[in-house]
C-alpha cells in the first residue's frame, strides 16, 4: 500500500514500504524513515518479550524522522528486547499456542487468515541501516496475540538490499538473515505459515531490475536457508509496477519459482505477484491475465497473490470506502479468472477504515472469498508491526486503530 505525500509528512513516515498505484509517490523517490539515533538509540530483535521505551517527540527532531503522531509531548513505542536464550520461546510453548488456537488450520472457511507484519522493510534509504533506528522486527508477543485470535499466516516484508547487500547475488547478510530466521522459526513452530516477502516493487537499489538470472540466484540463496521448513512461503516480489513489459514481470516470477526449486525447497508454496501493484480489481485489465497464467512449477504450488483496497483509487491511502459492497465487487473478475484458469489465489493485502461503510465492505470482501474458497486460499490484513503508531489500518495489539475496530470481525473468518 502507498501513502500520499500529505499523509506521510503528517505521520513522519516517508514510506515506500506501502504499496498501491498513487502516481505522486513512487518507490524510486520515497523512503520509510524511522527515527534517527537522536530520537532513540534502541536495538530491536524479532523474538523477545515486549519492552517500552518512551521517545520524546519534540521540535528538535525533524518531522521526517518522527515515528508517531502524538498530541502529547511524548509517545511510547513498543520495542522488543534483545535476543537471548531466556526470551526466545521454546518449542513446547509454541506448540501450546498452536494447540490452543488451531493456528495451523483456519476454521472460518478459508485456509489462511492473517497479517502483514512490517518493520524490517522500513528505512529503505539507509542500507544496510541500523536496527532499532532505521528498521525493526515485528514483536513475537503481538504475533502470539494474533495467533490467539485464530490467525495462521504472517507476511514478513523484507528488503532485498538488506539481505543481499551490494548486489542481489551476494551472500546473505548474517545478522539480517539471523533475525529473519528467528522470527520465521517462532511463527512456524507455532504451526502458522511465515511468508518471506521481498518488499521491493520490482526495484533493487532504487532501479528496476531486469536480470532473471540474478533474481533466480537471490531466491536460490534465500530458499536454501529455509528449504527444510514446510511452513515457509516464498513471496517473489511485492507489487511490480511500471515495468519495461508485462512479460518481464512473468519472467521474473518464473525465475523466482525456478530459483526456489533449484535450492531443493520443493514442498513450500510460492506466491507470485503481477504488475500494476498486483491489484485484484485490475487483474484482467492490466495485462496480468495475459501473461501470468503461463507460469509453471514442478511442485504445482503456485499461489497468485493479489492486493485489494477499498478506497476510490484502490490505493489504501484513505479510510473512506467507495461503498458497502465494493469489497466483493473488486474481487469478482479476479475470481472468474482463477476459476477459468484452474489457479489458486490469496489476497495478500487488504484493509478498510473504521466506519460502518468500510466494515460492511470488508465483510463483503471476506464473504466473497469464502464463497469462492475453491480458488481463494485466504487473506492478510495490512498491517501489523510495532512502529505504526496511530496509522489508520494498524492491527498492532492491543491499541492499533485497525485492531480495535476489526479484530473481532477478522476472528470470525480465522
State the Rg of the chain over Cα: 19
The catalytic position among 117, 121, 239, 243 is 239
Burial 152-174 (b: 16+ CB within 10 A, else e): bbbbbbbbbbbbbbeebeeebbe
The residues facing 307 across adjacent strands are 279, 349
3-state secondary structure of 165: coil
The catalytic position among 225, 273, 305, 349 is 349
Give the CA angle between residues 30, 402, 353 to the nearest 5°.
75
For residue 194, give the nearest of 119, 296, 103 by alpha carbon. 103
Q: What are the phi and psi torsion angles at 184 (to 5°)?
A: -60, -45
C-alpha dihedral, 402 to 305 to 331 to 397, nearest 10°: -10
Distance in angstroms (rounded) separating the CA atoms of residues 311 and 301: 32
239 flagged as catalytic: yes
The CA distances from residue 344 to 109, 111, 277, in Å, are 15, 12, 18
Distance in angstroms (rounded) separating the CA atoms of residues 161 and 395: 27
Q: Return the biggest CA–CA distance within the chain.
A: 58
The CA distances from residue 65 to 33, 56, 75, 102, 156, in Å, are 6, 12, 13, 40, 23
349 flagged as catalytic: yes
Angular region, 185: left φ>0, alpha ψ -120 to 50, beta rest = alpha
Which cell numbers in the block locate residue 228? 527444510
Which cell numbers in the block locate residue 91? 518449542
Q: Which residues contact 408 (CB under 8 A, 6 or more apart)?
A: none
The residues annotated as belonging to the active site are 239, 349
Amino acid at each position: 500500500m502507498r501513502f500520499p505525500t500529505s499523509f506521510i509528512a503528517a505521520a513522519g513516515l516517508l514510506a515506500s514500504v506501502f504499496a498501491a498505484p498513487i502516481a505522486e509517490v513512487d518507490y524510486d523517490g520515497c523512503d520509510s524513515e524511522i527515527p534517527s539515533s537522536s530520537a532513540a538509540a534502541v536495538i530491536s530483535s524479532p523474538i523477545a518479550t515486549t519492552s517500552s521505551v518512551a521517545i520524546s517527540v519534540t521540535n528538535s527532531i525533524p518531522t521526517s524522522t518522527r515515528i508517531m503522531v502524538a498530541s502529547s509531548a511524548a509517545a511510547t513505542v513498543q520495542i522488543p528486547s534483545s535476543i537471548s536464550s531466556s526470551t526466545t520461546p521454546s518449542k513446547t510453548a509454541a506448540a501450546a499456542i498452536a494447540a490452543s488456537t488451531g493456528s495451523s488450520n483456519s476454521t472460518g472457511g478459508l485456509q489462511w487468515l492473517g497479517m502483514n507484519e512490517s518493520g524490517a522493510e522500513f528505512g529503505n534509504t539507509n542500507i544496510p541501516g541500523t536496527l532499532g533506528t532505521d528498521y525493526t522486527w515485528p514483536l513475537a508477543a503481538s504475533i502470539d496475540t494474533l495467533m490467539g485470535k485464530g490467525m495462521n499466516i504472517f507476511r514478513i516484508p523484507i528488503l532485498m538490499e538488506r539481505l543481499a547487500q551490494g548486489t542481489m547475488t551476494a551472500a546473505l547478510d548474517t545478522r539480517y538473515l539471523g533475525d529473519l530466521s528467528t522470527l520465521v522459526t517462532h511463527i512456524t513452530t507455532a504451526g502458522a505459515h511465515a511468508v518471506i516477502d521481498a518488499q521491493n516493487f520490482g526495484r533493487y537499489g532504487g532501479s528496476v531490475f531486469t536480470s532473471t538470472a540474478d533474481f533466480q540466484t537471490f531466491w536460490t540463496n534465500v530458499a536454501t536457508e529455509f528449504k527444510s521448513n514446510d511452513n515457509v512461503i516464498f513471496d517473489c516480489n511485492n507489487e511490480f509496477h511500471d515495468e519495461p513489459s508485462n512479460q518481464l514481470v512473468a519472467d521474473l516470477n518464473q525465475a523466482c519459482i525456478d530459483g526456489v526449486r533449484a535450492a531443493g525447497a520443493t514442498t513450500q508454496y510460492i506466491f507470485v505477484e503481477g504488475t500494476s501493484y498486483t491489484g485484484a480489481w485490475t487483474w484482467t485489465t492490466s495485462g496480468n491475465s495475459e501473461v501470468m497464467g503461463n507460469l509453471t512449477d514442478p511442485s504445482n504450488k503456485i499461489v497468485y497473490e493479489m492486493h485489494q483496497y477499498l478506497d476510490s483509487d484502490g490505493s489504501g491511502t484513505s479510510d473512506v470506502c467507495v461503498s458497502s459492497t465494493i469489497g466483493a465487487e473488486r474481487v469478482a473478475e479476479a475470481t472468474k479468472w482463477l476459476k477459468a484458469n484452474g489457479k489458486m489465489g490469496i489476497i495478500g493485502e487488504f484493509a478498510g477504515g473504521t466506519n460502518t461503510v468500510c466494515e460492511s465492505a470488508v465483510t463483503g470482501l471476506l464473504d466473497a472469498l469464502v464463497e469462492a474458497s475453491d480458488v481463494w486460499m485466504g487473506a492478510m490484513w495490512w498491517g501489523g508491526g510495532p512502529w505504526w503508531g496511530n496509522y489508520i489500518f494498524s492491527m498492532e495489539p492491543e491499541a492499533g486503530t485497525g485492531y480495535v475496530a476489526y479484530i473481532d470481525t477478522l476472528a470470525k473468518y480465522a
